[in-house]
Structure 1
Amino acid sequence: MMRHLFAAALLLATSAAAITPDGHALIAFKESISDDPSGVLATWNPSDATPCHWHGIVCNTLAGFAVPRVVSIIVASTNISGNIPPDIGKLTQLRRLSLHNNRLTGTLPLELFNATALRSIFLQGNLISGEIPPQINRLTNLQNLDLSHNRFFGVIPDSIGDCGELHILVLANNFLSGYIPDSIGDNLTALKELDLSDNHLSGPIPRNFGNLSSLQSTLNLSYNSLAGSIPESLGRLPYTVSLDFSHNNLSGRIPQEGSLADQGPGPFIGNPALCGLPLSRPCPVAPYVPPLPSIPKEDAPPTVGPFGAEMPPANLTRRSSLGTGAIIAIAVGDLVGISVVAVILIYFYWKTSICEDKCCRKKGESSEGGFSHGKGTCCLRRGMLSGGAMTSEESEGSSDATKVGADQGELVALDKGFSYELDELLRASAYVLGKGGLGIVYKVVLGNGLPVAVRRLGEGGTQRFKEFESEVQAIARVRHPNVVRLRAYYWASDEKLLIYDYIPNGSLAVALHGMLQPPL
């Protein structure tokens, strides 16, 4: 009996010792998981010689190594609970770590940054807390980092600028505070997407963000406590970038340079001190004060020196010959004029606020979905495609937005190069470009960074589908360098959409008359 027990123990010891060092590190990860409701780690058996056939594990045979090495861990959206153990850092050839949309807690172990071959870290949608360690700069090959929807706090480490290969940096929906480090704009020039929204970041927007010329998808700084003006340098960013500075404490005139001049009001709302186009809030104009006339040298009174000698006349200004009453009258008149202008501005601002409050009460600010993340849903969704509905920036007399669903119609592509689904179009970032008698036009940035122009025709009367289809097909057949190409259309009884190429050269009014100033 003792002989059999000894043999069994020897066999187990031999099997455990046979597993590769990468397998040992993964077993340590499995032991740190407190709950695995789907049993996704059931195949992780310590008696196996290699972990390469375990669920979620990818191995590659690399030069210089006798056995295949673990290069990828993909255990996402499985609701596993636990924490990330330090042993993960022993996977020195790990390229991808995807543990997003689980219930992981704890902090990021410093040993993780010993896995210097990492190119992608996807940990979004967990409960991980603590600070982002400054040792992240060891990952010089890192290209994708998504830590959004967690509980990280503290500052964004300045050392993140040493990860010069980063293409995607998403830190949204955390509790990060402090200034945005300048190292992002100085060194991360390969960034294609930057999302720092829904945090507690303060200070100014770094002016060197205008150097991020590789941005293609998003620059989202919304829902923070950023202050100061919007740097003019951001106008150098590509026109395809979806900008969002909404719901901060920004102030001053919105610059009208480059891509900043081609935005709707959506990226700027929620900043009470911002003014100028494309917002309806005009910037204050300083009153003009004419300079006092100078006195000719020959009329200047003589100046007496310290010993009674007459000095040559200096460049003096003539004292006003107006009486005290005239000066008081002029001052009172200026004060009355300024007061009248202020009352007019306050009236229009009050009237606009009342309309917006009515709009929000009609739509319900507590509704879920869209890009608001639960904050200011009604106001943020105005003028965007969101949650299955396309809504306009509310104007006087406008009706509630009509929801567009896949069960009401079909998105029909008129061009073979347009291969997007309706759901993808509705989830994309969108801003109002303009509106008129033929509907509202939105700028929509699709998932791959491609911008399109979407014209919403609304209910469109009693026009039947066949009539609408024939007209759209005729328009689609037109090929001319001065006619914007129609890519697709959507038809339903209560909603009609036309999807065109987006031409980033401003409006026709701007081309004919230059930049129009807002009326007083």
Structure 2
Amino acid sequence: DETPCNWSGVSCKNISGFPDPRVVGVAVSAKNLRGYIPSELGNLIYLRRLNLHNNFFYGSIPDQLFNATSLHSLFLYGNNLSGSLPPSICKLPRLQNLDLSYNSLSGSLPENLKNCKQLQRLILAQNKFSGEIPGGIWPELDNLVQLDLSSNEFKGPIPSAIGELNSLSGTLNLSYNHLSGNLPKSLGDLPVTVSFDLRNNNLSGKIPETGSFANQGPTAFLNNPLLCGFPLQKSCNNSSTSSSGTQNSGTNSGETQKKGLSPGLIILISAADAGGVALIGLIIVYIYWKNKDSSNSCSCTGKTKFGDNNKGKFCSVCPFGCINECRNNDSELEDNEKGEKSGKGEGELVAIDKGFSFELDELLRASAYVLGKSGLGIVYKVVLGNGIPVAVRRLGGEGGEQRYKEFVAEVQAIGKVKHPNVVKLRAYYWAPDEKLLISDFISNGNLANAIRG
């Protein structure tokens, strides 16, 4: 068939002024195709989407390809392409999605990538790009939502201008390179939903604790031996103890100076400090709820998403669905106190960390599974819609205005605690029969590992 519109993987559309349909899409992925990418594809001036991923194309990306000026999505990942990224790529004024990952492309990133102003996704992972990451590219890419430069050979500092990518979401992935220097504080200006992956570099210095940095777990910074601070289990020692250098003028020349505390003892003291603070907070919360009336608790029948069998009044498909069911049941919503927070009205979700915000509905819909159970309640790992995991401790107990005030006072106090070994409390939920504490989720950690460093 000589009409390409009938070929497998080719899509066409009627274009005004032409008697026959024009090719607007070519998708021939994973077809074991070999050879060079045909430069003639650049003659398809109405081509919008080119998908050649997971084949065996080799050689360089032809410059002529960028004559297809209607192209907005270019997927060439998973081939054997080599050579540099052509500077002429931004001749494509509508280019939104560029995925060239899993090839053998090399050289530096061209500065004129800043001219791809419509770019939304730039994925160049698993190549051989080298040199420093240019700083002048990023302030111009206002629409960029995904940036993945992982597993290349980039070196030098992380450009502070990356912090100006205000549309970024998901993960900023710069892992497995040779990046060095301090983390720019400007990365904290990125949206709070952004997760960092900066593993396996040569970054150094103290991790900032402002903005988006405060929402990152330790995994984001692993295998950077010279990084320190929260959330890593590695403190930053910027000064030595002053007592080691002081000497009493009245002492004999044979007297020895006092020695500072050993590193092991310092770690033990810090861990004990952290454990004490956390234990006090948990005991206070537990005292409030240990006398809860189980007949009034709102729990779910049947299995939740994570397979937890609970018995109670309502059935829900999500771990915290009872909140939703209680709020929508007429008998439970009779509010003689006109919606007071004392326990008669609807619940309230309050963010302690103002930079960490999400809607209650998002929490209700999130997938979750049980981490553990104790006298203090059930702890779940919950993955929010933006991909950020949090730990949610579910408490029971009755309401009451006085209990509400005491609960809020204690939770606010615990939320202000800042210590490398204390998990940060982010938010809480209060309702007549449901209380939740939302905190950071830290994976694969325990006190023994913290003490050993």
- What TM-score do you get using the length of structure 1 for normalisation? 0.55
Q: CA deviation at 1:238?
A: 1.1
**Structure-2 change in CA distance of 1:488 and 1:121 (3 Å):** closer
**Structure-2 change in CA distance of 1:222 and 1:234 (3 Å):** same
Structure 1 residues 196-207: aligned runs within 5 Å? 196-207=149-160
Which residue, out of 170, 193, 196, partners 1:240?
193
Q: CA deviation at 1:242?
A: 2.2
Aligned position for 1:102: 55
**Structure-2 change in CA distance of 1:220 and 1:500 (3 Å):** closer
Structure 1 residues 176-187: aligned runs within 5 Å? 176-187=129-140
Distance 1:88 1:176 in 2: 25
Secondary structure class of the residue paired with 1:87: helix
Q: CA deviation at 1:132?
A: 1.0
Q: Is contact 2:145–2:167 with CA below 8 Å preserved after alignment?
A: yes
Q: Is contact 1:210–1:233 with CA below 8 Å preserved after alignment?
A: yes
Q: Structure 1 residue 90 and structure 2 residue 90: aligned? A: no
**Structure-2 change in CA distance of 1:344 and 1:135 (3 Å):** farther
Aligned position for 2:112: 159
Structure 1 residues 102-501: aligned runs within 5 Å? 102-287=55-240, 333=257, 336-337=259-260, 340-342=261-263, 464=309, 472=319, 474-479=322-327, 480-483=346-349, 484=360, 485-487=363-365, 499=382
Distance 1:322 1:477 in 2: 71
Distance 2:364 2:193 in 1: 19
Q: Is contact 2:247–2:257 with CA below 8 Å preserved after alignment?
A: no
Distance 2:364 2:253 in 1: 65
Q: CA deviation at 1:288?
A: 6.6
Q: Structure 1 residue 79 and structure 2 residue 3: aligned? A: no
Instruction: State the one-letter code of the partner of 1:486.
Output: L
Q: CA deviation at 1:120?
A: 0.7
Distance 1:205 1:77 in 2: 35
Q: Is contact 2:46–2:70 with CA below 8 Å preserved after alignment?
A: yes
**1:81-101: CA deviations, max 9, x gaps?**
222022222222211110111
Aligned position for 1:359: none
Instruction: State the one-letter code of the partner of 2:81.
Output: I
Secondary structure class of the residue paired with 1:183: coil
Distance 2:36 2:95 in 1: 22
Q: Is contact 2:106–2:130 with CA below 8 Å preserved after alignment?
A: yes
**Structure-2 change in CA distance of 1:129 and 1:476 (3 Å):** same
Aligned position for 2:335: none
Distance 2:10 2:310 in 1: 51
**Structure-2 change in CA distance of 1:200 and 1:475 (3 Å):** same
Q: CA deviation at 1:145?
A: 0.1
Secondary structure class of the residue paired with 1:79: coil
Secondary structure class of the residue paired with 2:196: strand
Aligned position for 2:418: 516
Instruction: State the one-letter code of the partner of 1:275.
Output: C
- In structure 1, list runs of 5 or more residues that go unmatched: 1-44, 291-319, 349-435, 438-456
**Structure-2 change in CA distance of 1:502 and 1:93 (3 Å):** closer
Instruction: State the one-letter code of the partner of 2:69.
Output: T
Secondary structure class of the residue paired with 1:516: coil
**Structure-2 change in CA distance of 1:501 and 1:482 (3 Å):** farther
Instruction: State the one-letter code of the partner of 1:72.
Output: G
Q: CA deviation at 1:326?
A: 8.0
Q: Is contact 1:486–1:501 with CA below 8 Å preserved after alignment?
A: no
**Structure-2 change in CA distance of 1:513 and 1:91 (3 Å):** closer
**1:68-116: CA deviations, max 9, x gaps?**
3222111112222222022222222211110111121121111112222
Distance 2:185 2:252 in 1: 44
- In structure 2, list runs of 5 or more residues that go unmatched: 270-281, 284-303, 328-345, 350-359, 374-378, 392-409, 422-450
**Structure-2 change in CA distance of 1:490 and 1:237 (3 Å):** closer
Distance 2:73 2:348 in 1: 43
Q: Which has the higher contact order (CA 8 A, sep 6+)?
A: 2
Q: Is contact 2:314–2:325 with CA below 8 Å preserved after alignment?
A: no
Q: CA deviation at 1:136?
A: 1.4
**Structure-2 change in CA distance of 1:188 and 1:279 (3 Å):** same
Distance 2:147 2:248 in 1: 61
Instruction: State the one-letter code of the partner of 2:325.
Output: R
Q: Is contact 1:487–1:499 with CA below 8 Å preserved after alignment?
A: no
Instruction: State the one-letter code of the partner of 1:83.
Output: Y
Instruction: State the one-letter code of the partner of 1:514.
Output: K
**Structure-2 change in CA distance of 1:158 and 1:321 (3 Å):** closer
Q: CA deviation at 1:123?
A: 0.7
Aligned position for 2:10: 57
Q: CA deviation at 1:64?
A: 4.3
Distance 2:186 2:412 in 1: 22
Q: Is contact 1:205–1:231 with CA below 8 Å preserved after alignment?
A: yes
Q: Is contact 1:96–1:118 with CA below 8 Å preserved after alignment?
A: yes
**Structure-2 change in CA distance of 1:104 and 1:465 (3 Å):** farther
Distance 1:458 1:62 in 2: 48
Q: Is contact 1:510–1:516 with CA below 8 Å preserved after alignment?
A: no
Distance 1:124 1:235 in 2: 31
Report the count of equivalent residues: 333
Q: CA deviation at 1:239?
A: 1.5
Percent identical among aligned pairs is: 41
Q: CA deviation at 1:66?
A: 4.8
Q: Is contact 2:178–2:202 with CA below 8 Å preserved after alignment?
A: yes
Secondary structure class of the residue paired with 2:118: coil
Q: Is contact 1:107–1:130 with CA below 8 Å preserved after alignment?
A: yes
Q: CA deviation at 1:482?
A: 1.9
Q: CA deviation at 1:218?
A: 2.1
**1:272-326: CA deviations, max 9, x gaps?**
1111111110111313769xxxxxxxxxxxxxxxxxxxxxxxxxxxxx9986988
